Amino acid sequence: MKKNILYAIALAVSFVGCSRPQDKRTEIENKVETLLHKMTLEEKLGQMNQLSPWNFEELADRVRKGEVGSILNVVNSEEINKIQNIAVEESRLGIPILVSRDVIHGYKTIFPIPLGQAATFNPEVVEKGARVAAVEASADGIRWTFAPMIDVSRDPRWGRIAESCGEDPYLNAVMGTAMIKGFQGDSLNDPTAIAACAKHFVAYGASEGGKDYNSTFIPERVLRNVYLPPFKAAVDAGCATFMTSFNDNDGIPGTANKFVLKDILRDEWKFDGMVVTDWTSTAEMINHGFCTDGKDAAEKSVNAGVDMEMVSETFIKNLKQSVAEGKVSMETIDNAVRNILRLKFRLGLFENPYIVTPQSVKYAEEHLLAAKTAAEQSVILLKNDAQTLPLTDKVKTVAVVGPMADAPYEQMGTWVFDGEKEHTQTPLKAIREMYGDKVNVIFEQGLAYSRDKNTSGIAKAVNAARRADVVVCFVGEESILSGEAHSLANLDLQGAQSQLIKSLAATGKPVVTVVMAGRQLTISDEVEASDAVLYSFHPGTMGGPAIADILFGKVNPSGKTPVTFPRMTGQAPIYYAHNNTGRPANPTEMLIDEIPVEAGQTSVGCRSFYLDAGNSPLFPFGYGLSYTNFEYSDLKLASDKLTVDGEVNVSVNLKNAGKYDGTEVVQLYVQDKVGSVTRPVKELKAFQRVELKAGESKTVTFSLPVSDLAFWRYDMSYGVEAGDFKLWVGTNSAEGLSAEFSVMN
C-alpha cells in the first residue's frame, strides 16, 4: 500500500516536472487572462512603461503605484531586490518588474564585439559567450538584454557595424540565433536565462551615408531578401522580444511601422513575444515630422503594434485619453499587456522575483577561458609574408609598440557598461606574463592613444624596433570611435598611427601590425608596409592572452572577415553579395594613374568601377589566412539536375598541406544566374569550421535544401525559380572551386 502511494506521488511529481510545452503555454495564457481582467487601464499603461530611473525614491514610489512595467540601467543587486520587493509586496497587483540592460557582448567578462564574434564563424563559441553574459548579468537581477543586434551592416562608416554580425544576412541569422540560444538558455524560466531582444526592427543598418539614425530607403523586396531574414531566424529561435528601430524607412519610422510590426512580425511570422520601442523613439517621431505631439506619437506607435515604450513616457501620459476618444482600442492595449505579462510569466518572475544566481560567477575562470577562446577565433590573419608569424625561437627580443598595446579600456570595445578595465588583460601584459621567460620585451607606446597626432614618441618606438628582432605594433580605434552615434566619414587609421607603422617599417625590421578596431578600416598602405597583419576587432577582456598565443604560434588563427574591407572610404557601402550591373568591371581596368592626359571620354571603358579605387576590395568577405596552408580539390556535385524539393549535395576535398595543425572555415556560395529580378553575384549559403592536423585531408560535404535558394520574386511571391545556378566552395567569397547545376520545376 505504502509502496503504491509512493509510486503515485512519484508519478504525479514526474507529470508536474514534465508538463508538456502545450500545457505550459495554456497555463501561462490562463494566468495572463486572469491577471489582465483584474487590471485597471492605468495599471495596464503602467506595465507598458519602461523607465531608466535616476532617483531611487522616485522610482520606488512609481513602482508602488503600478506605473512601471520594466526598468533599465539599474545594476545594483540590492536596489533591484528592493524595487522588486516593492513591486511584489506593495503594488496593488504584485506584478514583478522586468529588469533590463544592454548586455551586448558580455556583462563583466567581455567577449569580442559582435563583429569580432561573427569573424569566428563559430556559432558554438558565440552561444557560449551569450550564456556567460546571461549567467553574470542575472547575478545582478538582469533578466532582459537588448541583444542580439542583427542589422545587416554594409557600411563601415556606420559606427554600429561594431555591434552587428556584419554584412551577410545568413551569417547574421546564424550568429543571432546562437546569441539568442545563449542568452535564453534551455528555458526562459531558468533563473540564469535572460530574454533576448532582436533589434533593430528594421533596416537600421542601411542608414543613409552610414550616418547613425539616418533615414533608410529599402524597398520591400530588399527588405525581405536581405534585412528581414535574420529577424525571421530570431523568431524561429524563440527570441522573446523585438525592438523597433530609430530610422524611418521610406518615410515611416520603425516605431510606427504597422507593415513590419503587425503584418510581417505578428501575422506572417506568428511572433507572440513582446515589442519594445528604442530609447525615446516614440517621442522622436515628432522630430521626424511624422507626429504632431506625444499623444499622436503614442497612438501611432501602439496602433502599429508596439507593446512597451522605452523611457519617453508618451504612452502612460496620453493613452488613457486616446482610449476615451476611441483613437486606441481597449483591445489594442490588452494585447500589448498580454505580450508583456506573458513574458514575465515565461521568465518565471512571479515565482522567483528575486536574484538567485550567486555573485561569485562574475569573471569565473570558465568565463575567462570562454572569452579567450572567442577572442582567439575572432582574430583574422590578413597577411603573413615570409612566414613572419608565428614568432619562432630565433626571435629573442620583441618590441611591443602602439597605442592599443596596453589600452585595457579601449580593447573592450563599444557597449561596455559593466566590464571593468582592471580585469582586462592587454597584449603587453600577456606577452610579458606568458612569454616573458622566452623573449625580451621592450615596450614603447609611440602614441598615447589612437587619435594622438603628437609624433614626438615615434622616435623612441623606432629606436625600440631597431633593438629588437621583430616589432609588433598595436593600432586601431579607441572604443569611443565605434558604436552608437559614432559614425565616421573617413575610415583611415586615426592620428599618427599610419606614420608610426611606416616609420617602424623603415627600420627594415619585420613589422607585425595588430589592428584592434570596431569596424573594418581602410588600411591598404599599412598592410603594404607591414610584413604580417592580424585584425582582431575589439577583442574584450581576454584579448591579450589570445593575441599573445597567436603571435607565438600556440594558437593558429582561423578568423574570417565578416565584412568586406574597402581600399578607400568612398567604396562604402561595400559588400560581396551585390547585384551585377549591366557593365561589370573588368579586372584589367585602367586606374587613375595610368590614364593618359587628355584621354578620350570613352577610352577607359564604360564599366562600373572607381577610377581611383578600382572595383575590388582590399580584402573580400570571408577572407582569412592561417599559419598552415589549405588546399581544395575534387569538387563533386551528386547531381547537377535538381527539383525544387531536392537537395544540393556537394563535396570537396580539403587538405592541410602545411606544417601546422589548423582550422579552415569552408564556405559555400551560390549564384542564381538569371532571375525574374536581378540576383546577387553570390550568396553565402552554408559554412563549416573544419579542423585538420598538419598533412591531414578530409572530404567536406554540404547538403543544401534547394528551398534555401528561394527569394522574393518579381510578383512578390516567395520561392525558388527554375533555372541555372553556379556554386563555389572555397576559402573566401572571392575564391573557390565551382560547379553548375540547374533546378527544374
Among 107, 146, 242, 725, binds ligand NOJ (CB under 6 A): 146
Q: In angstroms, give the least distance from the CB of 21 to ligand NOJ.
A: 29
Encoded amino acid at 523, one letter = I
Task: Report how far residue 447's alpha carbon sits from residue 313's, in angstroms, rounded to the nearest whole number.
Answer: 46
As a three-state string, the secondary structure of 584-616 is: ECCCCCCCHHHCCCCCCCCCCCCCECECCCECC
Closest approach, Cβ 278 to ligand NOJ, in A, equals: 5
3-state secondary structure 353-419: CCCCCCHHHCCCHHHHHHHHHHHHHHCEEEEEHHHCCCCCCCCCEEEEECCCCCCCCHHHCCCCCCC
Looking at residues 260 to 299 of the shown chain, list those that interact with ligand NOJ (rule: CB under 6 A): 278-279
Count H helices and E strands in the chain, helices first.
Answer: 21, 26
User: To the nearest whole angstrom, how small is the minimum distance from the Cβ of residue 348 to ligand NOJ?
Assistant: 23
Q: Which of 271, 177, 259 has its CA nearest to residue 223?
A: 259
Q: Which residue's beta carbon is nearest to the bound ligand NOJ? A: 146
Three-state DSSP at 227 gives helix
The torsion of the CA quartet 16, 21, 27, 28, rounded to 10 degrees, works out to 120
Strand partners, 150: none
Least Cβ distance, residue 625 to ligand NOJ (angstroms): 34
Angle at 621 between CA 617 and CA 623, to 5 degrees: 95
Distance between CA atoms of 676 and 225, rounded to whole angstroms? 14
Among residues 279 and 619, whose Cβ is nearest to ligand NOJ?
279
Which member of 155, 278, 307, 418 is catalytic? Answer: 278
Minimum gap (Å) between residue 168 Cβ and ligand NOJ: 21
Helix (H, G, I), strand (E, B) or coil at 333: helix
CB of 149 to ligand NOJ, least distance (A): 6
Interacting residues with ligand NOJ between 657 and 716 (CB under 6 A):
none
C-alpha cell at 525: 598602405
Query: Minimum Å distance from CB 180 to ligand NOJ?
Result: 15
Q: Which long-range contacts (CB under 8 A, 24 or more apart) does 87-93 make?
A: 87/63, 87/353, 88/353, 90/63, 90/64, 91/63, 91/64, 91/65, 91/66, 92/43, 92/66, 93/35, 93/38, 93/39, 93/43, 93/66
728 binds ligand NOJ (CB under 6 A): no
User: Contact between 75 and ligand NOJ (CB under 6 A)?
Assistant: no
- The total of other beta-carbon atoms located within 10 Å of residue 649's CB is 14
The residue (of 278 and 313) whose beta carbon lies closer to ligand NOJ is 278
Contact mark string toward ligand NOJ, 161..200, x via CB under 6 A? --------------------------------------x-
At its nearest, how many Å lie between ligand NOJ and the CB of residue 486?
Answer: 12
Which amino acid makes up residue 426? T
The rounded Cα 106 to chain-centroid distance in angstroms is 12
Which is nearer to ligand NOJ, 279 or 609 (by Cβ)?
A: 279
Q: How many positions of this chain bind ligand NOJ (CB under 6 A)?
A: 6
Closest to ligand NOJ by CB, 241 vs 541, is: 241
CB of 335: closest distance to ligand NOJ in angstroms?
Answer: 23
Q: Is 242 in the site for ligand NOJ (CB under 6 A)?
A: no
Least distance to ligand NOJ from the beta carbon of 204, Å? 8
* Dist CA 119 CA 97 (whole Å): 36
Whether residue 202 has a cis bond before it, omega within 30° of 0: yes
User: Is 190 known to be catalytic?
Assistant: no
* Binding residues for ligand NOJ restricted to 80-109, rule: CB under 6 A: 102
Q: Which triple of cell numbers denotes residue 564? A: 568586406
β 380-384/532-535 pair status: antiparallel
Nearer to ligand NOJ by Cβ, of 311 and 720: the residue is 311
- What character string, x for contact with ligand NOJ (CB under 6 A) and - otherwise, covers 461-500? -----------------------x----------------
Pick the closer one to ligand NOJ by CB: 273 or 680.
273
The residues with which 631 forms a beta bridge, in sequence order, are: 655
Instruction: Give the span between the Cα atoms of 721 and 737, in whole angstroms.
Output: 24
CA neighbor of 212 nearest in space, from 163, 144, 145: 163
- CB of 278 or CB of 376, closer to ligand NOJ: 278
Q: Which long-range contacts (CB under 8 A, 24 or more apart) does 38-44 make?
A: 38/93, 39/93, 39/337, 41/320, 41/323, 41/330, 41/333, 42/66, 42/67, 42/320, 43/92, 43/93, 44/333, 44/334, 44/336, 44/337
Q: Judged by CB, which is closer to ligand NOJ: 118, or 197?
A: 197
Cβ 628 vs Cβ 694: under 8 Å:
yes
Q: How far is the CB of 725 from ligand NOJ (least distance, A)?
A: 37
d(CA 37, CA 31): 10
Which of 168, 278 has the CB closer to ligand NOJ? 278
C-alpha cell at 673: 544566374
Query: Active-site residues: which are they?
Result: 278
**Residues of the shown chain interacting with ligand NOJ in the complex, contacts defined by CB under 6 A:** 102, 146, 199, 278-279, 484
